[in-house]
Structure 1
């Protein structure tokens, strides 16, 4: 992914990326995206784009392992998050979902992970401290809550599931206030042109209907031009 594509992906929303993947693949049926409603800590911020650094957490009950084991794993997790390809995104599965109560993402962890050079975080779990997160690091989460509970890392660098979206370590993730999507590796070289094709085709419809009133006969011609342009 070159710098031009990265900047383009930060400017477009996740629904556009989902549609562009279908344009690049030449078919519908792509399904590597989140299901259900997610919340974004900074809805108007640029999209989160990066390679996944994955982990799983729990918070409802205290960890049962020895304290030293927990501490060692915690620091190994942070070392893992500080490494890897950039741009990077923390992708964290909360094993307490649908009963998640522990906010892993708040003022402390967002600042730490931003300092590691990560672009943001995607989780099916909980976030908090919405007024205190740093600029330039957005969180797309499953819910908002006040407490961190007994939150602790149980493992990392393994495939995770975020609301039906499977994410393997290193996968290219795009996320915003709509949710998240995994961009197939084979699509990446074609994604810029696919987005351009999508925008050109949609402009045909928007130019014809936005702020205007048209007949069905006019619409038929517009839709035929739209379908021809997006293939």
Structure 2
């Protein structure tokens, strides 16, 4: 878990946000090759706002259910809701909500997310949500609040938070509370704090290596021989 004293500088977070999530994944292959097969979403998610820029923030985790009602008395449900909001609204920011739907075969049955929750979480300092559950109220969604979800749905059924602050797994990505998350329309990835500051330079290196290949591929004078030369040139960029 990330504590306040471990929070990265605003400059590092801003630098990370300049790149899309696939580029960050490419950069991580250079900086931390051991993470090539772990730490990112591997199943498709719905993104209703593909034109929003990438989001970067610290995870606030929770699990939800909707096919059965909460077994807690009303007063305890209300107290848990307040405790959850207190958790979401504290700690280093910006923050990203990461919520696992634990309804098994009925995942996404009821939407935790809609007009109200997007507005509340935005006010609490979150910049978006990554969930395998469903979302709704897209036209009324909080402006600028990014969403990656398992599905869209019309009803909230009996949706409620079962737990918060623990480890969750969403679309193949395992996340702990306080993990640094980078996300955009393509998906999300966990960034280890000890390599975060190295990723912008690695991302620039990836771009420089791709440039000669893209230049010739988009050229009206493209030829196989020129492509071979561009590939060789790219391999020599370090």
Confirm or deny that 1:57 pairs with 2:64.
Answer: yes
Match of 2:46 among 20, 39, 53: 39
The corresponding residue for 1:6 is: 13
Contact 2:16 2:199 in 1 (8 A): no
Match of 2:36 among 23, 29, 36: 29
Confirm or deny that 1:158 pairs with 2:166.
Answer: yes
Confirm or deny that 1:90 pairs with 2:103.
Answer: no
Match of 1:18 among 21, 25, 31: 25
Distance 1:4 1:211 in 2: 36
Contact 2:28 2:36 in 1 (8 A): no
Residue 211 of structure 1 and its aligned partner are, at CA, apart by 4.1
Match of 1:207 among 215, 218, 222: 215
Distance 1:219 1:4 in 2: 37
Distance 1:57 1:88 in 2: 19
The corresponding residue for 1:127 is: 135
Distance 2:33 2:171 in 1: 26
Q: Any idea what the Cα deviations from partners look like across 1:115-159, whole Å, max 9, x if unmatched?
A: 011111110100111111121211111100011110101110101
The corresponding residue for 2:86 is: 79
Secondary structure at 1:119's aligned position in 2?
strand
Secondary structure at 1:186's aligned position in 2?
coil
Distance 1:105 1:11 in 2: 27
Distance 1:39 1:8 in 2: 26
- Report how many residues are paired: 230
The corresponding residue for 2:194 is: 186
Residue 70 of structure 1 and its aligned partner are, at CA, apart by 1.7
Normalization by structure 1: what TM-score? 0.94
The corresponding residue for 1:173 is: 181
The corresponding residue for 1:143 is: 151
Q: Any idea what the Cα deviations from partners look like across 1:11-49, whole Å, max 9, x if unmatched?
A: 321111111111222567342111121111311001121
Secondary structure at 1:101's aligned position in 2?
coil
Q: Any idea what the Cα deviations from partners look like across 1:179-211, whole Å, max 9, x if unmatched?
A: 111112222121111111111111121122114
Secondary structure at 1:40's aligned position in 2?
coil
Residue 71 of structure 1 and its aligned partner are, at CA, apart by 1.6
Contact 2:41 2:188 in 1 (8 A): yes
The corresponding residue for 2:236 is: 228
User: Please, which runs of 5 or more residues in structure 1 have no aligned partner?
Assistant: none
Confirm or deny that 1:111 pairs with 2:119.
Answer: yes
Distance 1:140 1:125 in 2: 9
User: Please, which runs of 5 or more residues in structure 2 have no aligned partner?
Assistant: 1-7
